[in-house]
Structure 1
Amino acid sequence: MHLQQTLLPILLTLHFLAFTNSIEAQYTPYDDLPGLIKSNKPAFDPDFPEWAKKLYGNDINFYDINKQYEAYIAENPGRKTAISRYFRTWRKAILEYVRPDGSIQLPDMHVFNRQLNKSQTLCESSQNDRSNGSDWSFLGPRETFWLNENGAATAPGKAPWQVNVYAIDVATSDFSIIFAGTETGFINKSTDKGQNWQQMAPGYLFGGGITAIAIHPTNPDIVFASGGNQIHRSEDGGHTWQPLLPLSNLFYADRLRIDPQNPSKIFAASEKGIFVSSDGGNTWTQRYQNQAWDIRIKPGDGQTIYAITRNAGYYSLVRSVNGGQSFTIIQEFPGNYSVASGAYLGVTAKNAEVLFAVLLGSNDTPYLLKGNFANNNISWNLIATGRTTAFEMDNGQGYFDLAMEISPLDDKIILVGTTTLFKSTNGGLTFSAVGGYWGPFNIHPDIQDIKMLPNGETWVATDGGMNYTSDVFTAQNNYHVRCKGLMGSDLWGFDQGWNEDLVVGGRYHNGNTAIADFYQNKSLRMGGAESPTGWVLQGKSRHVAFDDLGNGWVLPKTAEGEPEGRFIFSKYPNMDEYGGRRSNFVHHPNYYGTFYLGEGNGFWKSTDMGVSYVLLHTFPGRVRYLQISFKNPEVIYADVSNYGLYRSDDGGLTWVQKPSLTNAP
């Protein structure tokens, strides 16, 4: 008996420690890197593949985890999950810190945050003055149009495949004013309902993707934005910004809500909990410590605030009845839905006594719940279960692309989406697909944000840009793509021609594009997904190639014209680590039909513009990058993974390793 009494507290302590460690293991120091948003990381699942489990550990070898992931993708092509999306983002963020042996040298984030804050403060004090003669001008893509692949007589329309817009807000005082924040950390503004967009504060570094935007309810010149573990404020319509959070209190707000009755009060939901400012954003106080994915103000009642949070691995709803001074758990909310990858709330001015919650649950299944708060009698009902005939939505890529909005004019109209947008007109009993991976409207997959306005207009932000409808996606002629001038494409594939002013590249999320002066301000949507690809073949007009589109293309002479043909292009340079280390090919400076590239460990030469190749040399590692001498084309340099620099003096037949470019003094 005495032994049992002694062991019981020990076992309970060990159980508590194990539970605590499992909660803490949700995030690791890797997740603090610039470019990562912690809330997009799904909860740990013991059924994850081995590569995914490693993301929750503290000792990761990049090459090991990447190899396992690539093998997984080869076996599961095209499958979208929250953990796959997070890994791809994680991989892009981690690459510059990878050592040759695959270990990861993490930066000092305190130093990084200080330097970023200093840059933001200096930029704000200089009023973003970029008139120093060294400016870059924006080339494009300015507006993306479908490729006229079949030579139709009618000019192709606008394609919503341009910029991944994370967050939007529409000024309640002027519905013509809209702000849009991108994954790449840009903020764009429109003053004509999205007909035209302008990048704001190009010299200001927001430090990361813009996850939330909130416009002052009566003064549209005052705008708040969340990006890079910081909340930023503009008081001049977005022309200049300033960081608000001190270095001792940084957090990444996933949602920002301004009290319309008291605009000095702002609420933020973040992975660090709920924060409230009562002085227009100057100072922030943490009012709830558990992770919060969304926060909503009860329409017409600034004292009542709802937030969907995490509580010991389950979703929990908390409420404040004192304007955000404190929050308590609503016990009537169903507590049996385990956290998978995030949640979202919906309120409507049509009926302030109802609250909707969409929860991304286990087994790739979302759940839509409706709460009724009339007369203080709280009741909750499950009104829709995902992956059913009535509601086909799945978890998609998790919180990364989750959004929901309830019409302020009719509480039976619901828009909700992950990879595909769905619409209900009967309060959630049934849903139909609007667009994304399927549906009658050709919007880009992956829904990021939704705004439904009291005048009947609706805005939907996706991985591809901005979509507008005046009748909640009822008639096709009332739906419009609004991406003209919207800046922030992640053009991570790039090449440029010198015989014509032609640029091609692969865009993250938005496929391949072609930009040319003879296309005016139009960019072509060439197809593809998100490969960092694109090469221009010099010497022949408009000949380009993309590694995910098969053979080469002869581009049209005009943006509205039909492509002039295809040509054989049988080999592509190495595209390693999800494009983070993209190889190249180099043209012979005297013969445009001759060029060289590295595929695998081989150095290859073509003399017929890529129709056929000859293997000239095999290196001990993968060919990373090439350069050829214009003065003496027999001299070629090659950067080889893990082996360094090599030089050839006979056109690539033989090579000498060059461990150093200079002699020691």
Structure 2
Amino acid sequence: MKPETFCLRPLLVATLLCTTSPALFAALGSWSTSGPAGGNVVALVSYEASPTTLWAAGRGGVFRSTSGGTSWTRIEIGLPEALFSTDLVAATSSPVVYLAAGRQIYRSGNGGDLWVPVTPPSAVDFINHLSLRRAGSNALLAASYNSLFVSSDGGGSWSAPGAVLGSNQYTAVDYAADGTLYAGLAYSDAATFSGAIVLRSTTGGASWAPTPAQPGGLGGIDHIVSSPGTPLRLFASDGVNLVTSSNGGSSWSGIALPEAGTACGVINQIAANPSVASGLIVGCSARGLLVTADATVASPVWQTYDASNGFTANGTQPPQLSAIAVHANFATTPSIWAGAGDGGLLATTTGGSCWSAINNGFQSTNIRALATHPVDTGNGAVFLAGYGDSTTTIRALYKSADSGGSWNPSNNGLNAEQIRSIAIDPTTVDSDPLTAENFTVYAAGRSERIPDAAAKDGGIYKSSNAGASWSTIDSGIAVVNGRPDMGTARTIALDPRSCLTPPASGPCVIGSGGLRKIFVTGGGRANLTAPGLPYQSARIYRSADAGASWTASDSGLPLPQDLGPPGSFNYASMGGVVPLVFDPGNTQTLYIGTFINWPQGQAGAVDPTLANGVFKSTDGGASWLHASNGLPRYAGAASSNWDVLALAINPANPQILYAGTSNLFAGVPTGNVYKTTNGGTSWSLASTGIAGQDVRALFIDPNDPTGDTVYAGTGGNGANPGGVYRTTNGGSSWNSISLGLPADSATALAMPRRAAGAAPRILAGTTAGVWDYTSPSDDDADGSPSAVENALVGGDGNGDGIQDSTQARVASLNGSGLLARTAQGGGAVTVAIQPGTCTQLNDSTSLAAALYPPDNIAGTGSHDAWGLASFSLPACAGASVRVTFHGASFGADWSWRNYGPRVPGNADTFGWYRFAGARLIDAQTWELRLDALRQGNYRDDANDILFVGGPAQSADLLFSDGLQ
């Protein structure tokens, strides 16, 4: 795919955002993605020795480009899944890269092909910033919010300052080329550094002191950088003002920004010109990019680059930058690369006069909303995807006109920084499943005050041409601080029987002219000046005229509660309403799910008791009653119920509903599914087999006439991955179908329309785009398709005389080792649970060792011959599992090694280790004794096991205890 170029015809930017490619579908039985590309950018660096080599990190992962950003490749071998990156730095003359992620720092000595954890600084909470000294690869400065640490050996060891650092708050660091270290503070403890906001160390970090002079007029430091070639030249900003020093902080002077035209707004980023010591590049939230060759003179000459030059993420406004990288020889090669917050990556080769989006392969879009055409089944079916959790200018909504094969932004007129819900009006489509037509679609989300307060709206949008253009529909949403504002609008739902002439029963038919009754849910705006005050803006609004006007509809929902102690203004409040579903037979009956906000851990406070969870209305939303009996509670019997972030109603029996519950306040976040069979009168747990940290999405398969086939999407992290789960028995048991899906997984689910009998296709919204899965025939749900199991080792890999494809406890797989094994007569792998209480395998697969870092204890290449086996055991506290590598001849120089967290559930402890529960029982077969509460399980989950490990050949381990 070609990079997206904007500068040639800026007025047509909305139509030039992305090129298209033929429709691509997921391979049967596996997850894959075709976009949308772009999204969140945390850090971006260029390699000085080869400046067209770039590294970028974002919420979707870590990536590298060797083509100046034309294309990107994921580089994560050795990194835990679902890594939350905070910073990234690279050496100037060797391909050494460091990545900060939470409490851990990772190092790659080969440009990102392999990452290894380094010794983390002691007693550190969260590494926010890294800086690496030029012309070296081992001198590293790290900062957490309230600490500074220095390593001279690439993270092998760390030293902290000799002086007590007090309550300072560190927001920026710089390791200058001459060895001087600088730190910028947002807040300085007067007792330690007398209120200084810039510190320096000339002792390699052993001691720190304020620079001889402090920059005047700054409220703190957001950014500080030194000139690469002239290290005494410093630039610093507090987000509003700029200053510079020519002598390492002995004196400072202000830098004048342009006076004419649009004001800068917030200074998001600054970067020193690598070629000219006085040169500076500034990212402004409102004005765009400012470039000057000399920022040190009284009146710098600035060049401004904005949307008219293609410097934009949404086509109309400049992006809010999170990172800037500059070509090392900028004087002769005027290339700049920019990370646009949640708006993806941009590049210029003309010093700024012409910009292109460079997102091909950069998968970091956080998709929180999905909608598929309600009728079309061909390759031209329209899908829509919404980007969530952003407060910067982005491409908030994407459209695929080729059934998910490619994605283009669809933002014309859309004044949104995030989209959390999309609803296509099924009565506005035609009945031909192969034709495209203009239909009506609604979206709900959030706009910010960008570029100013006048831009804020109610977060509700409508398109009458299938998303080609949008208008804001927020008339009647309460005005708060001068603008319509209901917080984040989280769900928009259409009453399926609200056409002008509804049928006697069932939904309005295709072509019946448009639905009229619409509900939108959101956070509302609580009044927390005193307990029990009415909300300033409602949590639910309804429209009877297709969105032309709205009225509040949250009567009966709780008001804020005072948790005490007296006078502390410590309130609990309903944070918002997320899902809303209609009873399809009687749309006067509706259900909503809600979540709660309250400060944790305040001394003297009581637990919240305000109503939360599920509410029900039987009068079309005019009033709501709490309907959460049986849902879990945060504390005692009278405390608030857990959050409900997903709901689904059985169309065949509307008394049956499923609720996704989450406790995000727990030490280990927990999610479950609950079920009611009596319209919300009571709920019971229906979560057997589900794992992950929360349940964010529920979807009922419309092709199952019983309504008993339900899908659930859960979130997670590297050590407790989320996934997509399916039940075919109404929630009695669930099976994971998560192979290949990002570990933090599904926050939205959708199912494209399909013909009767066709394999179901599932779309999942993740932090790395839209992922796509087409279900194979896998009757025993073990992860290995029936056709594969029937084709391998006579269809009976464990030799029990029963077809593997009919046994949920046996899975035969194609092996994934890297060495040819034809001569050995094998290659297949069979995983079999031995008789006991556990009877189900999920997500069984064989994985190539190249997907993992080398096992340094067993030796590089020690796993290559047979690869690794991976599987999960739902609803299982412990089991004996046998893994047979057909054709193998394991001897005394083989041992079993696991990869994963050494401490179950702890993503900071990833690595290789000897699995003590393994023993070789014959030349081909290993027996694994698994306990959900002990090492060997990825998860910190007493009732669900996720296992990854395999045989390693190493003579060195023959007489070793192998405890590493």
Shared fold by TM > 0.5? yes
Mapped to 1, the partners of 2:228 and 2:254 lie a distance apart of 21
Once the two structures are superposed, what CA deviation does each residue of 1:588-622 show, in whole Å capped at 9, x if it has no partner? 59x9xx998657999789xxxxxxxx828843149
Once the two structures are superposed, what CA deviation does each residue of 1:239-258 show, in whole Å capped at 9, x if it has no partner? 44333244843343333222
Residue 657 of structure 1 corresponds to which residue in structure 2?
681
Mapped to 1, the partners of 2:176 and 2:373 lie a distance apart of 56
Question: Contact conserved, 1:267 with 1:277, CA < 8 A, in 2?
Answer: yes
Residue 233 of structure 2 corresponds to which residue in structure 1?
354
Mapped to 1, the partners of 2:204 and 2:305 lie a distance apart of 38
Question: Contact conserved, 1:229 with 1:252, CA < 8 A, in 2?
Answer: yes
Taking every aligned residue pair, what percent have the same amino acid on both sides? 19
Match status 1:171 vs 2:47: yes
- Match of residue 521, structure 1, among 406, 414, 429: 406
Distance verdict in 2 for CA 1:596–1:356, change over 3 Å = same
Match status 1:194 vs 2:190: no
Distance verdict in 2 for CA 1:356–1:236, change over 3 Å = closer
User: What SS is found at the alignment partner of 1:533?
Assistant: strand
Once the two structures are superposed, what CA deviation does each residue of 1:9-52 show, in whole Å capped at 9, x if it has no partner? xxxxxxxxxxxxxxxxxxxxxxxxxxxxxxxxxxxxxxxxxxxx
Residue 311 of structure 1 corresponds to which residue in structure 2?
188
Q: Which amino acid letter does the alignment assign opposite residue 311 of structure 2?
A: F
Shift of 1:179: 1.1
Task: Give the superposed CA RMSD.
Answer: 4.3
Shift of 1:404: 0.4
Shift of 1:492: 2.0
Q: Which amino acid letter does the alignment assign opposite residue 306 of structure 1?
A: Y
Residue 472 of structure 1 corresponds to which residue in structure 2?
351
Match status 1:214 vs 2:93: no
- Match of residue 518, structure 2, among 563, 571, 574: 571
Shift of 1:312: 2.4
Shift of 1:284: 2.1
Mapped to 2, the partners of 1:456 and 1:508 lie a distance apart of 33
Mapped to 2, the partners of 1:536 and 1:229 lie a distance apart of 43
Once the two structures are superposed, what CA deviation does each residue of 1:598-654 show, in whole Å capped at 9, x if it has no partner? 57999789xxxxxxxx82884314997543324x24545376999x989687xxxxx
Q: Rg: which structure is higher?
A: 2
Mapped to 2, the partners of 1:173 and 1:338 lie a distance apart of 37
The normalised TM-score by structure 2 is 0.42
Mapped to 2, the partners of 1:413 and 1:437 lie a distance apart of 23
Distance verdict in 2 for CA 1:262–1:553, change over 3 Å = same
Shift of 1:207: 6.2
Note the 1:522-541 alignment, pairs <5 A: 522-526=407-411, 527=414, 528-537=416-425, 540=429
Mapped to 2, the partners of 1:382 and 1:254 lie a distance apart of 27
Match status 1:332 vs 2:328: no
Shift of 1:268: 1.8
Residue 913 of structure 2 corresponds to which residue in structure 1?
none
Question: Contact conserved, 2:63 with 2:73, CA < 8 A, in 1?
Answer: yes
Shift of 1:174: 1.5
Higher helix share: 1
Distance verdict in 2 for CA 1:640–1:377, change over 3 Å = closer
Q: Which amino acid letter does the alignment assign opposite residue 334 of structure 1?
A: P
Note the 1:398-417 alignment, pairs <5 A: 402-417=268-283
User: What SS is found at the alignment partner of 1:379?
Assistant: coil
Question: Contact conserved, 2:77 with 2:115, CA < 8 A, in 1?
Answer: no
- Match of residue 250, structure 2, among 374, 378, 386: 378
Shift of 1:657: 0.8
Question: Contact conserved, 2:324 with 2:339, CA < 8 A, in 1?
Answer: yes
Mapped to 2, the partners of 1:139 and 1:597 lie a distance apart of 36
Residue 442 of structure 1 corresponds to which residue in structure 2?
312
Question: Contact conserved, 1:216 with 1:263, CA < 8 A, in 2?
Answer: yes
Question: Contact conserved, 2:46 with 2:326, CA < 8 A, in 1?
Answer: no
Once the two structures are superposed, what CA deviation does each residue of 1:533-574 show, in whole Å capped at 9, x if it has no partner? 2234558467542124533444379xxxxxxxx966651342
Distance verdict in 2 for CA 1:311–1:552, change over 3 Å = closer
Q: Which amino acid letter does the alignment assign opposite residue 141 of structure 1?
A: P
Shift of 1:347: 2.3
Mapped to 2, the partners of 1:218 and 1:168 lie a distance apart of 17
Distance verdict in 2 for CA 1:213–1:246, change over 3 Å = closer
Distance verdict in 2 for CA 1:556–1:318, change over 3 Å = closer
Mapped to 1, the partners of 2:63 and 2:363 lie a distance apart of 7
Q: Which amino acid letter does the alignment assign opposite residue 628 of structure 1?
A: I
Mapped to 2, the partners of 1:377 and 1:280 lie a distance apart of 27
Question: Contact conserved, 1:435 with 1:442, CA < 8 A, in 2?
Answer: no
Mapped to 2, the partners of 1:206 and 1:291 lie a distance apart of 29
Mapped to 1, the partners of 2:138 and 2:119 lie a distance apart of 16
Q: Which amino acid letter does the alignment assign opposite residue 627 of structure 1?
A: A
User: What SS is found at the alignment partner of 1:345?
Assistant: strand
The normalised TM-score by structure 1 is 0.60
Distance verdict in 2 for CA 1:228–1:350, change over 3 Å = closer
- Match of residue 292, structure 1, among 170, 187, 203: 170
Q: Which amino acid letter does the alignment assign opposite residue 657 of structure 1?
A: T
Mapped to 2, the partners of 1:431 and 1:530 lie a distance apart of 36
Mapped to 1, the partners of 2:273 and 2:110 lie a distance apart of 30
The worse-fitting range, judged by mean Cα deviation, of 186-195 and 235-244 is 235-244
Distance verdict in 2 for CA 1:280–1:582, change over 3 Å = same
Shift of 1:371: 0.9
Residue 546 of structure 1 corresponds to which residue in structure 2?
443
Distance verdict in 2 for CA 1:194–1:163, change over 3 Å = same
Once the two structures are superposed, what CA deviation does each residue of 1:184-215 show, in whole Å capped at 9, x if it has no partner? 26212212111112222289436664221112
Shift of 1:305: 2.6
Once the two structures are superposed, what CA deviation does each residue of 1:385-423 show, in whole Å capped at 9, x if it has no partner? 79x659933447xxxxx3101212234432223524341
Distance verdict in 2 for CA 1:442–1:435, change over 3 Å = farther
Shift of 1:141: 0.9
Mapped to 1, the partners of 2:81 and 2:121 lie a distance apart of 15
Note the 1:153-302 alignment, pairs <5 A: 162-182=38-58, 184=59, 186-201=61-76, 204-205=79-80, 209-220=84-95, 222-246=96-120, 248-287=122-161, 289=165, 290-299=168-177, 301=178
Residue 423 of structure 1 corresponds to which residue in structure 2?
290
Distance verdict in 2 for CA 1:413–1:471, change over 3 Å = farther
Residue 32 of structure 2 corresponds to which residue in structure 1?
137
Residue 36 of structure 1 corresponds to which residue in structure 2?
none
The worse-fitting range, judged by mean Cα deviation, of 241-250 and 351-360 is 241-250
Mapped to 2, the partners of 1:656 and 1:295 lie a distance apart of 54
Q: Which amino acid letter does the alignment assign opposite residue 415 of structure 1?
A: I
Question: Contact conserved, 1:552 with 1:569, CA < 8 A, in 2?
Answer: no
Residue 879 of structure 2 corresponds to which residue in structure 1?
none
Question: Contact conserved, 1:532 with 1:582, CA < 8 A, in 2?
Answer: no
Distance verdict in 2 for CA 1:430–1:587, change over 3 Å = farther
Mapped to 1, the partners of 2:417 and 2:56 lie a distance apart of 23
Q: Which amino acid letter does the alignment assign opposite residue 460 of structure 1?
A: A
Return 5+ residue gaps in structure 1 as ranges. Answer: 1-132, 143-161, 361-365, 397-401, 558-565, 606-613, 650-654
Distance verdict in 2 for CA 1:141–1:353, change over 3 Å = same
Note the 1:60-99 alignment, pairs <5 A: none
Mapped to 2, the partners of 1:134 and 1:508 lie a distance apart of 30
Shift of 1:451: 1.4
- Match of residue 512, structure 1, among 375, 379, 397: 397
Pairs aligned (count)? 465
Distance verdict in 2 for CA 1:205–1:328, change over 3 Å = same
Q: Which has the higher contact order (CA 8 A, sep 6+)?
A: 1
Question: Contact conserved, 2:291 with 2:303, CA < 8 A, in 1?
Answer: no
